[in-house]
């Protein structure tokens, strides 16, 4: 396989850009993510691929749950801020106003277009990431707007 062709084609896949959040006790994690997809209508299941070493993933493991916040097209800057690592930028969890979700307590961004709360039902190691299969247990639509995409934000996370 030609690694350059592999990278070129994998980067042709299109993605939305979201903020995945989790909370365990007083500790909260917020991270930008695009490796998210629906996997079932009934029950409503999603998949998320999370970096093995991420702070937010540690909180997903501790709480067994997470939320996915849908960003608006004008929120590119926030996506950039939350795409940095907690290890280097611990203050990033204060980058956006949030409240605890009603079902899981996961942070819900006040400025998101909408959100879903998810409970993990299964997970497997996938190389340098862990793939979570999670059931949607609550959802909220907050405002009208065009969702932010990875391409429109001009960021890369694939290849
Ligand atoms: C555009 C973009 C997309 C990203 N997509 C993912 C993703 O799908 N999954 C993931 O685990 N991290 C993704 N990241 C990295 C995370 O946002 C974050 O930097 C990293 O996971 C560390 O998370 P932490 O701050 O919770 O430790 C992405 C970063 C950027 C800038």
CB of 85 sitting under 6 A from ligand 1 = yes
Q: What b/e readout covers 70-95, taking b as 16+ CB neighbours within 10 angstroms?
A: bbbeebbebbebbbeebeeeeebbeb
Residue 58 binned pLDDT confidence (cut-offs 50, 70, 90): very high
The residue ranges of every structural domain in the chain are 3-153
Ligand 1, atom 7, lies closest to the CA of 33
Could you say which of 3.40.50.920, 2.30.110.10, 3.30.70.120, 3.40.50.2000 is the CATH number of the domain covering 3-153? 2.30.110.10
Ligand 1, atom 31, lies closest to the CA of 83
Q: What is the pLDDT of residues 17-27, one digit of tens each?
A: 999 999 999 99
User: What is d(CA 134, CA 21) in angstroms, rounded to the nearest whole number?
Assistant: 14
Average pLDDT over every residue of 56-82: 98
- Can you give the pLDDT at residue 65? 98
Please tell me the distance between residue 67's alpha carbon and the centre of ligand 1 in angstroms: 14
Residue 49 CA: which ligand 1 atom is closest? 9
User: What is the percent of the chain where pLDDT is above 70?
Assistant: 100
Q: How far is CA 19 from CA 9, 77, 131, in A?
A: 25, 12, 16
Q: Mean pLDDT for the chain? A: 97
Q: What is the pLDDT of residues 95-132, one digit of tens each?
A: 999 999 999 999 999 999 999 999 999 999 999 999 99
User: What is d(CA 85, CA 159) in angstroms, rounded to the nearest whole number?
Assistant: 20
């Amino acid at each position: 396989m030609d690694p350059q062709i592999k990278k070129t084609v994998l980067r042709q896949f299109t993605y939305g850009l979201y903020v995945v959040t989790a909370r365990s006790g007083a500790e909260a994690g917020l991270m930008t993510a695009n490796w998210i997809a629906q996997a079932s209508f009934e029950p409503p299941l999603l998949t998320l691929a999370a970096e093995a070493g991420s702070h937010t993933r540690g909180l997903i493991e501790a709480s067994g749950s997470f939320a996915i916040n849908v960003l608006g097209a004008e929120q590119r800057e926030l996506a950039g801020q939350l795409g940095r690592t907690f290890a280097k930028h611990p203050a990033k969890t204060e980058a956006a106003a949030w409240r605890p979700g009603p079902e899981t307590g996961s942070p819900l961004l006040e400025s998101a277009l909408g959100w879903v709360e998810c409970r993990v039902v299964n997970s497997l190691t996938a190389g340098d990431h862990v793939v979570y299969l999670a059931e949607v247990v609550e959802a909220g639509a907050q405002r009208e707007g065009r969702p932010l995409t990875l391409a429109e934000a001009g960021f890369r996370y694939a290849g």
